[in-house]
Structure 1
Amino acid sequence: MSRTPAPASAEPVTVGTPEPIADAPLSHGLKQRHLSMIALGGVIGAGLFVGSGTAIAAAGPSIILAYALSGALVMLVMRMLGEMSAATPASGTFSVHAERAIGPWAGFTAGWSFWFLLCVAVGLEGMGAAKIMTGWLPGTPEWAWVALFMVVFCGTNLAAVKNFGEFEFWFATLKVGAIVLFLGIGVLAIVGALPGTDAPGTTHLTGHGGFMPNGSEGLIVGLLASVFAYGGLETVTIAAAESEHPVKGVAKAVRTAMWRIAIFYVGSMAVVVTLLPWTHESVATKGPYVATLDFLGIPAAGQIMNVVVLIALLSAMNANIYAASRMSCSLVARRQGPKLLGRISGGVPRIAVVTSSAFGFVCVLLSYWRPDDLFAWLLNMIGAIILVVWIFIAVSQLLLRRRLEREAPEKLVVKMWLYPYLTWVALAGMAVVFVLMAREADTRLQLYYTGGLTIALAVIGVIVQKVRKEREEPSEAPAVTEKA
C-alpha cells in the first residue's frame, strides 16, 4: 500500500515564534533495517581506513587514547542530537533544532555550512575512489571515474529514497563485515592463536619510545585527526525523518553509538598498534589496516583493503549526496534558501540532489584547474565546520531540553546523560579542540577560513531573518481614506 508523503517533523517546540517551523515534506520510504545499517556502517568512513595512518605516525600507541577521548566527545554530541531528533524528527536535523532554540539565523548558518561541507566532501571522496580505480586500470582518467560515480549516485538519489537505503544497507554490511573480520584476525594474532604468529604482548605498546613517543604534541596531532574521522555520524538523524518509525530509529541508533565507536574505532586502533610497530613506514604509506594484514602475512591484503576503502568512499559519496539534498530542502521549506531547491517530486527533492552532486563535481574540477588557490581555499574552509555544527547542537540542546521538560516531557524518549553538566563538558571539549587547532600551524589556517565562512553565513542569516520579519509584520502606517 502506498504511503502518503507527510511532513518529516513532529509537532515543534515553541520558541517564541507564532508559526510552526516547517520541515521538508518527504516520503517515509526507509525501512528499519536500512536505518539500522546506516547507523551501524555510517560510523565506518574512509577517514578510519586511510587517515588514521598519519595519526598513528604522529601519536604512536597513544592513538588509542586520542580516539578514546575524541570518541567520548562524539558520543556526547550524538546523545544530545539524539535527544532532540527523537523528540522532533526532521530532515533538517540540527539546523531545525538550532532554529527552534536560538533563532532562524542559527538554523541558516548551521544548515548551509553543513551543506557546503557535504558537497565538498562528495568531491573529495570521488577523487579518492577514482585514484583506486586508476591504480587498477592505469591510463584511465581520474575525472572520468569521478563523473561516473557522480552519475550513478545522483541517479540512485533521484529515485525513491528506498534506493538510497538499499545501497547504504549493502555498503554498510560490507564495511561492518570487513572491520569485524579485521578485528577477529587481530585478536587471534594478539593472543598467539593465528598460525605462524607469536603473541606480541605489550612490546609494540611500550617499546619504540614508549606509549607516548612524541609526547603531548604527538597526542594532540592524533587527537585532531581522530576528531574529524568521526564526521558523518549525523546522517542517521537526517535519514530517520524518512523512516517508518523515526523516533524508534533515532533512539536505537543513539543508544548503540557507544559500543559502535568503542569497537570499530578504538578497538581497531588498539589492534593495529599492538600488532605493528608504530614506526613501521607502511603505516603511513599504505594505511594501518593494509600494513597490519601485510605484517601478519595475509595474502593479497593490499587489494582486499583497497576494495574495502573503495566501498567506504562510495558509501560516503552516496550518503553525503543524500544528506546535502535533504538539508538544503529543509532549509528551503523554512524559507532560508532558493525555492527551486525545495521542489519535491515523488517524495524526493530532485533539483537539490542534482545541485548538490554538481557542486561536488565542480570541486573536483577545481582540483585540476586551480589546485593551489581555489581548491586549497575550499579545503581550508571545511576544515573545522564539523566543530561549528557540534557547538550549535550543544547550545540547542541546552536550551531545548529545558523547554521540553516544561512543555512536552513525554517527548524525551532519549535523554542526555547528567544534563546539563555533560553538555557543558562537551562544549568545553570543543573549546579545547579549537585551542589545539590554533596552536598547530597546519590546522590554524583551517580554523581561520572556517571562522570566516561561519561569520559570513551568520551575517547573511541575520539579514534573511530581519527581511522575513519585516515582511511578516503588518504595516503600522494608518490606512489612507479617499474623500468623496
Structure 2
Amino acid sequence: MSEDRSVSRGLRQRHIAMIALGGAIGAGLFVGSGVGIAAAGPGIVVSYVVAGVLTVLVMRMLGEMSAARPGSGAFAAHATRAWGPWAGLLAGWMYWALLVVSVAAEAIGASRIVAGWLPQVPAWVWVAVFMALFTGTNLAGVRHFGELEFWFAGVKAASICAFVLLGAAAVLTGRTPAAENLTAHGGLLPHGWHGVAVGTIAAVFAYGGLETVTIAAAECADPVAAVRRAVRTVLWRVALFYIGSMAVIVAVVPWDDPAVAGGPYAAAIGRIGVPGAAQLMDAVVLVALLSAMNANIYGSSRMLHALAARGDAPRLLTGRGGVEDSDGAGGGALVGAGRAVLASAAFGFGSVVLSLLWPRTVFPFLLNSIGTAILVVWILIAASYLRLHGRRRRTDGPEQEQERGREQAASMWGFPYLGYGALAAMAGVLVFMLVDPGSRSQVLCTGAWTAVLLVVAGLRRHRRGPVAGPAVAAAPGTGPAVAAVTAPVRTGPGTGRPRS
C-alpha cells in the first residue's frame, strides 16, 4: 500500500465519522436549495433523489479506490494512476479552485449574518476574523481541525434531524395542509421535467463536498476502516439529511411562497410555528458556513500539498513532515501541509478582496468558473475507477491481492455497468447545462479553466520529454503491468507515468 507519510495521523475515528456525517452540509443545502425549489416545485424531491443516487455511486467508487490505496491526494492520485499526470493535475487543481473560491463565498455569507446582528462592526472585519481563525486552526494541527469540525458537524446534523422530526410531526398531526401544498400550486411538477432537471443541478452542487472525507481519512490511524465507515453511511445520510428535508419543506410550506427563495428552512420552521424561526436558522446557517470554511481550507490545503508532492505545484509548498509535532498535538514549523494551508487561505482571502473590489464582474466570473468543477471531478473519479478496477482484476501480484482485499471494505456495486451509468448521467447533466441558457455560462467558464489546465499539463509533459514507463497493457501477471499499477507517483525527468 502506498501511503502519504508527509501528513500526520492526528484524526480519530470519531472525527472522521462526524466529518462524514455533516461535513458536506453547508450553504448549498440551507440556502441554495431555495433556487432548486423555485425551479422544480415539489419535484425538487425527485431532483434530490436523482442527484443522490449519482452521489452514492460516485462515493462508492471513490471509497473503493481510497480503501485500496489511501492517501491525502485522494481522487487526484487515483486519476494520475489511471490516466497519467494530466488527469491528476486537472482533478487536483479543479478541486482546489472549487474549495478556495467556496471559502470566499462562505466567508462573505457568514460575515453578512453576523453584521446583521452587530451592524456597528463592518462586514469585512468579520471576514478577516473568520479567515484568521480557521487558518490558525488548520495551522495548529489536524487534530484541532478535526475537533472543531466534530462539533460543527454535530450541530448541523442535530439541527436537520430536529427539523425533519418537527416537519413530520406537523404533517402527521394535520397542523399543515401537506396535500394542498404539494398539489394546489401548479401540481407536483409545476415547471415540468425541465424544472426537475434544473433542480437536479442545484442538488448536485449541494451534495458536493462529501468526497472530502476520503482526504481526511488519510490522516487517521486506520484509513481503510475510516473510509469503509464513511462510505457505508452515505446512503442513509443522503436519504435523511437531503431528501428527507426537501420532502418536509415542500410539504410544510407552498413551494412558490416568496420566503422559500430567501431561506427554505427558515420558511418551513416559521410555518410550523417555532418561535424565533428566522434567528434560529440564521444561527444554524452561520454554523454551516463556518464549518464549510474550516473544512474547505483543510481540504484545499491537503490537495495543494499532494499536488506539490507530485511536482504539479511549487515544491516550496511541501516539505519533510506535516503540520503536526511528533506527538500529533500540533504546532511546530510551517512545513509540509502548513505551507499549503497558508497558500490556500491566502487565495481564499484574495477572492474575498476581489468580491469587494469587483462584485459584479471578477467575482461572479470566479463563481462561474467553478460552477461545474464538481462534475468534472466526479467524471474523473468514475473514469479512474473503471480503469483501475479493471486493471486490478487483470493483474496478479501480492500488491494487487492486498488492494483487492482492502477494496472489499467499501466496494462498488454492479461493476462495470453502474459505473458507466453514472458517467452517462453526469455527461447528461453537463449537456443539459450547456443548452440551458441559465447555466450555460458556468459550463463555458469551467470549460475554459479546464482547457488552461490541460494546456499546462501538456506543456509540462513536453518539457519533461518522452515518458519512458512500463506499458500498462502488458499481459496479466507480467512484471511491467504490476509495476505500472504499484509504482509510487513520482515526477521529474525520467520518472513520468505511463502514457494513457
| TM-score using structure 1 length | 0.90
| Aligned residue type for 1:329 | H
Q: Which residue of 1 aligns with 2:160?
A: 179
Structure 2 contact 73–306 (Cα < 8 Å) conserved: yes
Report the counterpart of residue 149 of structure 2 in structure 1.
168
Mapping of residues 3-22 of structure 1, within 5 Å = 10-11=1-2
CA pair 244-275 structure 1, distance change in 2 beyond 3 A: same
Give, in whole Å, the separation in 2 of the partners of 1:27 and 1:307: 33
**Which residue of 1 is the match for residue 371 of structure 2?**
383
Structure 2 counterpart of 1:456? 452
Partner of 1:272: 249
Distance 1:84 1:389 in 2: 15
Counterpart amino acid of residue 385 in structure 2? Q
Q: Which residue of 2 aligns with 1:198?
A: 175
Q: Give the 5 Å matches for 1:66-465.
A: 66-192=47-173, 198=175, 200-285=177-262, 287-343=263-319, 344-347=321-324, 349-405=337-393, 406-407=395-396, 408=400, 409-413=404-408, 414-465=410-461
Q: Answer whether contact 2:139 2:323 (CA < 8 A) is retained.
A: no
SS of the residue 1:216 aligns to: helix
| Structure 1 residue 350: Cα displacement | 1.1
For residues 215-247 of structure 1, give each alpha carbon's deviation from its aligned partner in whole angstroms, at most 9, with x where no partner exists: 122212211111111111111000000001100
Tell me, which stretches of 5 or more residues in structure 2 are unaligned?
325-335, 467-491, 496-500
- Matches of 1:124 and 1:256 in 2, distance apart? 28
> Is the 1:321–1:356 contact (alpha carbons within 8 Å) kept by the matching residues of 2?
yes
TM-superposition CA deviations, 1:249-277 (whole Å, max 9, x none):
00111111011001100000001111111
Shift of 1:210: 0.6
* Residue aligning to 1:3: none
- Over residues 12-67 of structure 1, what are the superposed CA-to-partner deviations in whole Å (9 max), with x where a residue is unaligned? xxxxxxxxxx8461110000000000000113111111011121111110000000
| 1:55 equivalent among 17, 24, 36 | 36
Q: How big is the shift at 1:105? A: 1.0
Paired with 1:403 and 1:151, the residues of 2 have a C-alpha distance of: 45
Q: Is the 8 A contact 2:175 2:272 kept in 1?
A: no
Tell me if structure 2 keeps the 8 A contact 1:125–1:317: yes
* Equivalent residues of 1:43, 1:261 under 8 A apart: no
Number of aligned residues:
450
Give the TM-score of the pair, scaled to structure 2.
Answer: 0.88
Partner Cα distance (1:102, 1:174) in 2:
40
**RMSD of the alignment, in Å?**
1.5
* 1:440/1:242 CA distance change after superposition, 3 Å: same
Whole-angstrom CA distance in 1 between matches of 2:379 and 2:441: 20
Query: How far apart are residue 138 of structure 1 and its match?
Result: 1.1
Query: Which segment is superposed worse, 259-268 or 138-147?
Result: 138-147
Mapped to 1, the partners of 2:220 and 2:250 lie a distance apart of 39
Residues 71-104 of structure 1 show CA distances to partners (whole Å, capped at 9, x for unaligned) of 1111111011001001000101000000000001
Alpha-carbon distance in structure 1 between the residues aligned to 2:164 and 2:360: 39
Question: Structure 1 unaligned runs (5+)?
Answer: 1-9, 12-21, 475-484
Counterparts in 2 of 1:133 and 1:199: CA distance versus 1, 3 Å: closer
Query: What CA distance in whole angstroms lies between the structure 2 residues aligned with 1:419 and 1:340?
Result: 41
Alpha-carbon distance between aligned partners in 2 of 1:117 and 1:249, rounded to the nearest angstrom = 24
CA distance in 2, matches of 1:296, 1:123: 33
User: Secondary structure at the residue paired with 1:400?
Assistant: helix
Cα 1:473–1:170, aligned 2, differ >3 Å: closer, same or farther? closer
d(CA) in 1 for partners of 2:4 and 2:272?
A: 51
* Separation (CA, whole Å) in 1 of partners of 2:494 and 2:344: 34
SS of the residue 2:161 aligns to? helix
Identity level (%): 52
Q: Distance in 2 between matches of 1:241 and 1:384?
A: 26
